[in-house]
Amino acid sequence: MVTTDEWSESRLDVDPTAGEAFVVDLDGFEGPLDLLLTLARNQKVDLARISILALADQYLAFIDKLGEHRLELAADYLVMAAWLAYLKSRLMLPPDEVPQDEPSAEELAGMLAMRLKRLEGIRILAGRLLDRSRLGRDVLPRGAPEETGLVKRSLWEASLYDLLDAYGRQRQRDMVRVHTVRKRQVWALADARDILERLVGTIADWAPIDDYLVRYMTGPDSRATVRASAFSAALELVREGRMELMQSSPFAPLYMRKGPGGPDTPEEGA
Amino acid sequence: MNRSGMSDDAPHGQLRLFAGDRDPAEYEAWMAAIRGAEAILFASAQPVAAEDLAERLAPGTDVAHVLADLRTIYASRGVNLVEVAGKWMFRTAPDLAHLLTREQVEPKKLSRAALETLAIIAYHQPVTRAEIEEIRGVSTNKGTLDVLMETGWIRMRGRRRTPGRPLTYGTTEAFLVHFGLEAVTDLPGVDDLKAAGFLEGAVPPGFRVPVPNASDTLMPDEDPLTELDFQDYEPLPPEE
Amino acid sequence: MNRSGMSDDAPHGQLRLFAGDRDPAEYEAWMAAIRGAEAILFASAQPVAAEDLAERLAPGTDVAHVLADLRTIYASRGVNLVEVAGKWMFRTAPDLAHLLTREQVEPKKLSRAALETLAIIAYHQPVTRAEIEEIRGVSTNKGTLDVLMETGWIRMRGRRRTPGRPLTYGTTEAFLVHFGLEAVTDLPGVDDLKAAGFLEGAVPPGFRVPVPNASDTLMPDEDPLTELDFQDYEPLPPEE
């Protein structure tokens, strides 16, 4: 019944001239139950009708025979032999001599038969499983599967609230910046002094100071700061004697010229 | 779902595509759904869930019906639409394997022990190692389970709430896909055995083919795994 | 019988499969060839040459004809048989490519800078980058405008007729839709902004919020964009 090649190996070589004597390689067996099953199959009757007594005899004879040639037998086989010897003795006892609280010999025999049947059953099932059309061997999947990829797409999230909040915030920042950013442009005193010092060296006679400053007045905003800084710097230069200032009347144009302690004069140290 | 459509003599007259007096717009929409599902299923080498299809097709598309139609249309073709692990995929027709030797991958041959263990895990899941050993009548090599874990067909499910808290094993989606099963309940079971004559006569008491439980939710007597449980199994199969 | 029946317009009558008075054996052989070619083309990882198919199908198969039939059968389907560099392969119908890629929408929040820039563009449009910078008091990152272009909420309107011919920006219809405005003129003015608390404290005299101009016609000092202007923005947002 088992057709798959995995099962076809013969593990029990029966020598037809030797009657019930077997030439067996124990390595081929998957344990005592497997050996028992093989022996039972040899009875050529349905497992349900098997003679457990005969089977036990065969097994014990087989083990005996092996014992003559091999010193070592796996413990599993010996345990089974011992159990079968016990079962055999029980089977031959009259039923009324059996203690009541133990299973009867028939029940024990039935359990053994059941286990054999179950093992055989699972083997048949395994064979049927292997006989199925197996993927990759009997049936094949698509050889060149096509890409069934996952395309990730971003879903952008933003609410109108987020949008207005963002707008409000930055426009608010904008308002604040209007106040701080409007920095007044000033002509630093030091700058004014440097420039005046350079200018005054080139002027021999009285000249209106505004004429020279006008080029630094870049816009209406800067006129005041240039004038104020230049005036302050000029007063300082006058004190040091490097420059002379003259004004005919209040708010009249201011004239300047090189002072007696001009650039040629060594500095006195402020 | 109409499952009869699998045979060669599939009655195309039963396709919703050709049913009754469709108005042209409805026909167009249905054709679009069929073509779309075809494209998606063809493109993927992995099974595609019906929900996945529904997400990609026009809203309101009757996906179950589309799949039924497609299955019928392709039933007699060189490529079939099959349901595996509750999902859908196109695969070559089983009878054409001989043409496809170039594409075939010879699966690693499993030992008898591994095969038996796999069958026990498939039919008895969730199952512990001790239970596997009880059925096989022999102790299980750690290597056997390792080999099965490597195939990606079995997984550790959890721990049984019994003394010693043994690990429980079950099958994976890759297992269903590989063996072309819709679900673990689709595993060939007792009925097949009976039909094959293996269960003639009295069934011994207690012998039954259990209904496997592969649902991802743990059984009442199972606890979830913790990280410690995975330290032995590196790398893990993809579905864990 | 029209077995493929998939399309009204595909000339199935021309298929060799359905041609003339075939004897059943010939029909079977032809069907087998079609199915075989279908399976091989489906399972192959590479496009398949006709000679390759001939080698794998039954000897004497008219492969060119099989391929022609298959191409016709699949012409109106979700997958088509196409010839690429002299070899053959199944490929998703071009009009269905969009079904294969699934969009995943990722919600993203606009940065503060982007929001502020957007707000200025909304209120002050048409507005140049220099003007935006002047209002914000900081220089504007190119990335900020790019992100806003990506949202589809702003657009380049034209070029200001001033030295340097700077680009002018404005909002789009998508902007109105997203923010629930009927027109940009619905944006609140100074009083409304103040009332709603978006502007606080004393508003200096002369402070004003412009009434946005979003009309699609250019302002007198705006020139239309030329193709050169779009080279930087590839791909363009859909509404442009």
Asked if the C-beta of A145 comes within 8 angstroms of chain B's C-beta atoms, the answer is yes
Query: Above pLDDT 90, what percent of chain B?
Result: 32
Amino acid C82: pLDDT: 92
**How does residue A59 score in pLDDT terms, banded at 50, 70 and 90?**
confident
The whole model's pTM is what? 0.59
Contact C39 B12 (CB under 8 A): no
Unique residue bearing structure tokens 């508003």: C203
Contact C181 A160 (CB under 8 A): yes
Asked if the C-beta of B12 comes within 8 angstroms of chain A's C-beta atoms, the answer is no
Question: Chain A, 25-84: which have a CB under 8 Å from a chain B CB?
Answer: 30-34, 36, 46, 48-49, 76
Nearest chain C residue to A140, by CA:
C43
Q: What is the pLDDT of residues A23-48, one digit of tens each?
A: 445 666 778 888 888 888 877 666 66
Amino acid A72: pLDDT: 61
B58 Cα to chain A: minimum distance (Å): 17
Size of interface B-C (CB pairs under 8 A): 78
B57 CB neighbours in chain C (<8 A) are 99
C-alpha span between B177 and B179 (Å, rounded): 6
pLDDT average, residue stretch B214-219: 70
The percent of chain C in helix, strand and coil, each rounded to the nearest 5, is 45, 15, 40
Q: What is the pLDDT of residues C224-234, one digit of tens each?
A: 877 666 655 54
Q: What is the pLDDT of residues C156-192, one digit of tens each?
A: 888 888 888 888 899 988 888 888 888 888 888 888 8
Amino acid B179: pLDDT: 92
Task: With both helix axes pointing from N to C terminus, report the angle between B24-43 and B63-74 in degrees, rounded to the nearest 10.
Answer: 70
Amino acid C81: pLDDT: 94
Contact A6 B110 (CB under 8 A): yes
Interface pTM, i.e. ipTM: 0.61
The 8-class DSSP code of residue C215 comes to -
pLDDT at B31 over 80: yes
| Among candidates B38, B57, B77 on the partner chain, residue whose Cβ is nearest the Cβ of C35 | B77
Amino acid A73: pLDDT: 65
Highest mean pLDDT among A178-187, A222-231, A255-264: A222-231
pLDDT at C70 over 90: yes
- Token readout for B213 is 């439980």
**How does residue A61 score in pLDDT terms, banded at 50, 70 and 90?**
confident
A152 CB neighbours in chain C (<8 A) are 103-104, 106
Contact A134 B207 (CB under 8 A): no
Q: What is the pLDDT of residues A97-154, one digit of tens each?
A: 666 677 777 888 888 888 888 888 888 888 888 888 888 888 888 888 876 666 667 7
Task: Please report the DSSP string for A47-73 in residue order.
Answer: GGG--HHHHHHHHHHHHHHHHHH-S--
pLDDT at C23 over 90: no
**How does residue C204 score in pLDDT terms, banded at 50, 70 and 90?**
confident
Amino acid B68: pLDDT: 95
Q: What is the pLDDT of residues C139-148, one digit of tens each?
A: 887 888 888 9
Amino acid C21: pLDDT: 60
pLDDT average, residue stretch C217-238: 66
Contact C115 A163 (CB under 8 A): yes
Nearest to C193 by CA among A157, A163, A174, A178: A163
A171 CB neighbours in chain C (<8 A) are 135, 199, 207, 209
pLDDT average, residue stretch A167-196: 71
| Among candidates C7, C35, C99 on the partner chain, residue whose Cβ is nearest the Cβ of B78 | C35
Query: Above pLDDT 70, what percent of chain A?
Result: 71
A163 CB neighbours in chain C (<8 A) are 115, 118-119, 122, 179
- C105 vs A126, higher pLDDT: A126
Amino acid A16: pLDDT: 38
C-alpha span between B52 and A171 (Å, rounded): 50
Asked if the C-beta of A270 comes within 8 angstroms of chain C's C-beta atoms, the answer is no
Amino acid B197: pLDDT: 47
Residue B184, Ramachandran bin (φ over 0: left; ψ between -120 and 50: alpha; else beta):
alpha
Contact B12 C5 (CB under 8 A): yes
C-alpha span between B52 and B13 (Å, rounded): 28
Asked if the C-beta of A165 comes within 8 angstroms of chain C's C-beta atoms, the answer is yes
- C64 vs B25, higher pLDDT: C64
Amino acid B125: pLDDT: 83
pLDDT at C74 over 90: yes
**How does residue C57 score in pLDDT terms, banded at 50, 70 and 90?**
very high
pLDDT at A221 over 80: no
C-alpha span between B17 and C5 (Å, rounded): 9
| Among candidates A143, A156, A172 on the partner chain, residue whose Cβ is nearest the Cβ of C199 | A172
pLDDT averaged over chain B?
A: 79
Q: Which residue, among C117, C179, C194, would best test binding to A if mutated, counting the most A CBs under 10 Å from its CB?
A: C179
Least confident of A145-154, B174-183, C209-218: A145-154
pLDDT averaged over chain C?
A: 81
